[in-house]
Amino acid sequence: MSSDPHALSEIAIVQGGYAFKSADFGDEGVAVVKIANIQPPLVSLHGADRVKPEKLVGLDRFALNDGDILMAMTGATVGKVGRFKRSEPAYLNQRVARISAKKGREFDDFIYAVLSLPGVDKLIEGSSAGSAQANISATGIGAFPVPRLSNGEQLLIGGFSRLIDDRITLLRETNATLEAIAQAIFKSWFVDFDPVRAKMEGRAPEGMDEATAALFPDSFEESELGLVPKGWRVRSVSEVAEIIKGKSYSSKELTDSHHTALVTLKSFERGGGFRLDGFKPYTGKYKPNQVVESGDLIVAYTDVTQAAELIGKPAIVVGVENYSTLVASLDVGIIRPETEQVSRQFLYGLFRTEAFQIHTFSHTSGTTVLHLAKDGVGSFQFACPQADLVETFSVLAESLAERRQTNIDNMRTLIALRDTILPRLISGKLRLPEADNIIAEAIA
């Protein structure tokens, strides 16, 4: 950063959220953004607590706007920032700060560029107070030093940052669409049995070639699960896959390691899927079968919320560059197919179904922390199709997964460039035309 910085409060307003009562929260109504909803670089409303509209009378100043910059003020994620993309009305909860540029929203991009730089969250955490957990006040956030730049420089740097962020967001949205396509196909083929119903009615299955359509039967038969396609056997997950629980660990084993890391609850997206920022450096012991390989299917076995937003959620691990070895923590189960009747892509689709999620929720125990029962995954029963049909689906799903991996690799490149270039731009060591050329060459 440049010399002679000034306090963030000189160029931005830091507003804390409203202290809603716990009794006000429910499953219906208007979303309220809490610390858990800040998932850098975004703010997710998935699983958000909600309040009835009548509880929001007179609270307009806490209503969130598209593009708002939000920061966690308490706990392990203190100092983390995300930007709110408005898909529906939402309000700001206590211990979450909104940071807005005083000169107008066009300067918000610069504010976010500075606050999202690597290491800034640690600097803010270092200035926080609290014995049991870190806490920072709006005043404390406002005291953070920010480089003193002209309006024009702020706008140029903010615009550059926004350009990269928009490209990263587009790649994320594309991946969400690709995953939704794969899940829609799974649901149509293996949950709703649309191709079977079409053949029963003398119709050709929609959007399917003849070779694939021939793999589906044209009738149903009774089973312990009700009507299932003829010839499909009812199986449990434990009959077709190995289920490996992760290991317990102590805090003294979470010292810095450049080689090994634990895969934790933070490795799961709340709606399912894998996060690349949920690892804990680890120096303890582990069993060989607890090593998580790229492409492994994992399931969350614990949850710290009574809403069970993560428990039972699946993810497929993608390649990780930061560590040579990943190990499943106690919060994680590794699911490995043991027969050609299923594949990881098939099981991933199966675990994302409503039926599986209901099953796992009904197999939990605990008060403060929810735990999935030992047989919570293995006891789930499903109609298992013929191996050639599973293979056909897996090839299709894998091709979509490969496209997602390409997008993930591009996101990594853009994030690395952003984290490298922005500090140099802000400090004046790099000019914007040079930065544009670096980005253009990297993504050409």
Would 277 be classed as within a structural domain?
yes
**Same-domain check for residues 372 and 282:** yes
Would you state the pLDDT for residue 130? 62
Omega cis (within 30) before 195: no
Structure tokens at 293: 């390989």
From the number of C-beta atoms within 10 Å of its C-beta (0-12, 13-18, 19+), residue 293 rates as: exposed
Q: Which domain holds residue 58?
A: 6-148
pLDDT higher than 90, residue 208: yes
Out of 367, 384, 401, a domain closes at: 384
Would you state the pLDDT for residue 182? 97
Would 300 be classed as within a structural domain?
yes
Specify the pairing of strand 90-92 against strand 30-33: parallel
Would 208 be classed as within a structural domain?
no
DSSP-derived secondary structure for 131-169? SSS-B--HHHHHTSEE----HHHHHHHHHHHHHHHHHHH
**Same-domain check for residues 125 and 43:** yes
**Same-domain check for residues 265 and 404:** no
Tens of pLDDT, residues 61-86: 999 999 999 999 998 789 999 999 99
The answer to whether 346 touches 388, Cβ cutoff 8 Å, is no
- Binned at pLDDT 50, 70 and 90, residue 277 comes out as confident
**Same-domain check for residues 300 and 427:** no
Phi, psi of 299 (to 5 degrees): -135, 140
**Same-domain check for residues 129 and 262:** no
**Same-domain check for residues 123 and 160:** no
**Same-domain check for residues 293 and 391:** no
Supply the mean pLDDT for the chain.
91
Would 366 be classed as within a structural domain?
yes
Out of 339, 363, 384, a domain closes at: 384
Phi, psi of 274 (to 5 degrees): -105, 135
Would you state the pLDDT for residue 213? 97
As a whole-number percent, the residues of the chain with pLDDT over 90 amount to 71
Nearest in space to 352 (alpha carbons), one of 313, 311, 298, 396: 313
Per the document, the length of the chain is 444
Tens of pLDDT, residues 226-263: 999 999 999 999 999 999 999 988 878 877 666 898 99
Number of domains in the chain: 3
Would 354 be classed as within a structural domain?
yes
**Same-domain check for residues 100 and 31:** yes
Would you state the pLDDT for residue 31? 97
Phi-psi region of 150 (alpha: psi -120 to 50; beta: other; left: phi over 0): beta
Would you state the pLDDT for residue 223? 97
How far apart CA 236 and CA 298 sit, in angstroms, is: 17
257 or 294, higher pLDDT: 294
- Binned at pLDDT 50, 70 and 90, residue 1 comes out as very low
Would you state the pLDDT for residue 142? 96
**Same-domain check for residues 379 and 242:** yes
pTM of the entire predicted model: 0.86
Would you state the pLDDT for residue 2? 46
- Binned at pLDDT 50, 70 and 90, residue 132 comes out as low
As a whole-number percent, the residues of the chain with pLDDT over 70 amount to 95
Would you state the pLDDT for residue 306? 46
Would you state the pLDDT for residue 257? 63
Would you state the pLDDT for residue 267? 87
List b or e across 320-347, with b for residues whose CB sees 16 or more CB atoms inside 10 angstroms: beebeebbbbbbbbbbebeeebbbbbbb
Can you say how many angstroms the Cα of residue 322 is from the centroid of all Cα atoms in its chain?
18
> What's the mean pLDDT in 95-118?
96
**Same-domain check for residues 433 and 378:** no
pLDDT higher than 70, residue 345: yes
The answer to whether 229 touches 220, Cβ cutoff 8 Å, is yes
**Same-domain check for residues 62 and 170:** no
**Same-domain check for residues 335 and 249:** yes
